[in-house]
Amino acid sequence: MNVENLKQILTNSIISEVQGDSNSKLAAVMIIIFGNEPMLLMTERPKTMNHHAGEISFPGGTWEKADGDLLGTAIREAREELGIEISRSTVIGQLKPVTTLNSGFTIIPFIVMLDELPSIVPNSEIESVLRIPFFSFLKTIENDKDPSHTSILEMYTFKFQDHLIWGASARMLKQILAKISS
């Protein structure tokens, strides 16, 4: 599969309006795929953070009224966390919402494909930036049917070097894998 095929598969309608009541905990992330040999950009959070310490995730965060909509949140967070300017017109699609099990956030993942990755200037919320070979990474999926996880039927994990990607990020990656496998 080449980059154009991947782009076609991942392109879909974007619904970025904030939905839910005022008590909903909403967030958005930006899934950034870049290069001719597609790479995936993920971040590692510092172990000193109060929330999601040490986790591997996509740039993103909590919706704020000033963002206007959830795509605005994903764009703002990519700018704040990585210093990357992403325009609305370059976002090609989104995945189904994913809910975090511990914090109860509903996260909308948006997808952007860039020819090349611009210069990155991480802020204090980022310990390190991971540039992951896209297709080989998706093959590392493991499906753990752990009986102790009673709130969900399946728990997915992906591996990159010595990093384990799990939780909401892994469920987003599973959606991508399902799209390109069908």
pLDDT tens, position by position, 19-50: 665 556 899 999 999 999 999 999 998 877 66
For tokens 């995730």, the residue is 57
Distance, CA of 106 to CA of 92 (rounded, Å): 20
* pLDDT tens profile 107-120: 999 999 999 999 99
Q: pLDDT tens-digit profile of 136-162? A: 999 988 876 555 545 555 578 899 999
Task: State the pLDDT at residue 23.
Answer: 57
Instruction: Assess contact for 24 and 59: CB atoms under 8 A.
Output: no
Q: Which amino acid belongs to residue 90? A: T
List, for residues 44-96, the tens digit of each pLDDT value. 988 776 666 678 999 999 999 999 999 999 999 999 999 999 999 999 999 99
- Which is more confidently placed, 144 or 10? 10
Beta strands in 22-105 (DSSP E): 26-34, 39-44, 56-57, 60-62, 91-94, 98-99
Q: Which two tokens stand for residue 173?
A: 């990656």
Q: Are strands 26-34 and 106-114 parallel, antiparallel or unpaired?
A: parallel
CA-nearest of 40, 55, 107 to 77 is 107
What was the pLDDT predicted at 20?
Answer: 60
Domains and CATH numbers, the chain: 3-133 (3.90.79.10)
